[in-house]
Amino acid sequence: MKVVVTGAKGQLGKELVKWFREMEWNVYGYDKDELDITDAQQVISLLGHIHPHVVVHAGAYTKVDEAEKEKEKAFFVNAYGTRNVAVAAEKVGAKLVYVSTDYVFDGAQRVPYHEFSSPNPINIYGKSKLAGEQFVRDFHSRFFIVRTSWVFGAYGNNFVKTMLRLAKEKEEILVVDDQYGCPTYAVDLVQKIYELVQTEKYGLYHISNTGYCSWYEFAKIIFSEMGVNVRVQRCGTKDYPRLAARPSYSVFDHMALRLNGFELLRHWRDALREFLHEYEVKH
């Protein structure tokens, strides 16, 4: 079996490449230096040459704050780049996985968002990713749109690694306590994506580890698991101004996984514990 992974050098992309290889698939991983997804002809020609069974489109413009200044670039990559991948994947008859985000929601509700909740993004990044979802629906017939959130893992930059670094540099860390979401271990996410593509149960899925927390609670638990002695102070979003607005509540309900007979992911604390154990061994 052949799979093409876009964004192959990113946090999720590296895990995808690793897992599919372990499952003995032929993996073709491309990062933006090797495949320009905004070049429709290049994407069509590459997929036409490889003829993959599955395309996992994890490549994206992910700089949330920069996107406010580079609006056209964000839409070019996340919307039209995704259209190009969808069109090319459809052309060769490959199943398509598009990795999307909790940022498609405004955070105004206080009950978990399921797959039939209405999106209403409040920043350019979220709007461009939602536009990508729409292009997938418009131009592909056998797709899995996978929204995820608060991803952490061995590769790339993420909140967990940032906290561990800051703990070495500072005695006190300020963390926002009025934004809530679901942490997601990249390894668990990749295994669930792999499980999805074995089926014909197409559609939209919210995939994160179960349970939720605020960034402040997340930080406290990281330090307590690691036995790190650092003072964590709460602050509000208003005390930490960023260019892009963040949804204050983007907790997922995993309705699609439940209704389609998939097991839910383990609790985020269990996943975090496993990741931190491995991280400690390597560092």
Residues annotated as catalytic are 125
Q: What's the full length of the chain, in residues?
A: 283
Phi-psi region of 107 (alpha: psi -120 to 50; beta: other; left: phi over 0): left
d(CA 10, CA 19) in angstroms, rounded, equals 14
Instruction: Pull the structure tokens for residue 11.
Output: 């946090």
d(CA 182, CA 218) in angstroms, rounded, equals 10
For residue 98, what are the β-bridge partners? 57, 145
Integer-rounded Cα radius of gyration of the chain: 18
Q: Are the C-beta atoms of residues 181 and 237 closer than 8 Å to each other?
A: no
d(CA 243, CA 268) in angstroms, rounded, equals 28
- Tell me if residue 194 falls in helix, strand or coil: helix
For residue 76, what are the β-bridge partners? none
Nearest to 274 by CA among 188, 190, 182: 188
Q: Give the Å distances, CA to CA, from 271 to 101, 131, 188.
A: 20, 31, 8
